[in-house]
Amino acid sequence: TFDIAGAAARDWEDIASVRMGNRDLLMIADTGNNLNVPMPGRIYIVAEPKLNTNKRKVRSKLKCIQCIRFRLEDGWFDSESMGVDATRKRIYFVTKPRKKGQQSTVYELSKPAQPSKKVLVAKRLTVLKGVNTATAMDISPDGLRAVVLTYGNAYEYVRRKSETWAVGFARPPRVIVMPRRSQGESICYGADGKTLYLTSENLPTPLWQVGAGAAAKRP
């Protein structure tokens, strides 16, 4: 168990493991906002700790390298999904609408090089057609694939190296059939960028492995 110095766990929703500047980092999204109140989101960045292979429980404290405060460009919304494109140092969020008929929207935020207390603004990119209960997301290590999870299936978006994610997210996604879960709110790519791992928030919490990138066709 790790505590993050100076962090407040308001409503932590997603986490990303990335490599930037020859460092392995964890980026933790405190972005839950069920009531859509005027409240900036936070991203806590820490050095990724080494796994403790001992069976004995250990509680340690991690230093917060950077805390990014931000808001979405066009309002205050709940977001349970964060993905990080380490190749471009961009952070992406997908909203989780509460009203029937609304669809999820994706936003982009450039990772600031230095810590700042300023509230940054995440730019609105596009609506994800057909996605309305986004619960988690991840971006592959090469920065070319993004997967958005719902309580049902997952949706994989692809971009070329020469393209931005505004182009990639505007394309129709590839639907990836997910196993039935009690409450699926987590997903990530493996190091190979071709495998997805997911589990459930409610018990029981088995770990599933689902094939992804290898079968996806590039546009």
The confidence score (pLDDT) of residue 213 equals 54
Half-sphere exposure of 21 (CA within 13 A, CB side): 5
pTM of the entire predicted model: 0.92
Domains defined for the chain, CATH in brackets: 2-215 (2.120.10)
pLDDT per residue, tens digit, the chain (219 aa), is 889 998 988 899 999 999 998 999 999 999 998 888 889 999 999 999 988 777 777 788 999 999 999 999 998 999 999 999 999 999 999 999 877 778 999 999 999 988 888 999 999 999 998 898 999 999 999 999 999 999 999 999 999 999 999 999 999 999 999 988 888 999 999 999 989 999 988 888 889 999 885 443 332
Torsion of CA 213, 106, 8, 75, to 10 degrees: -170
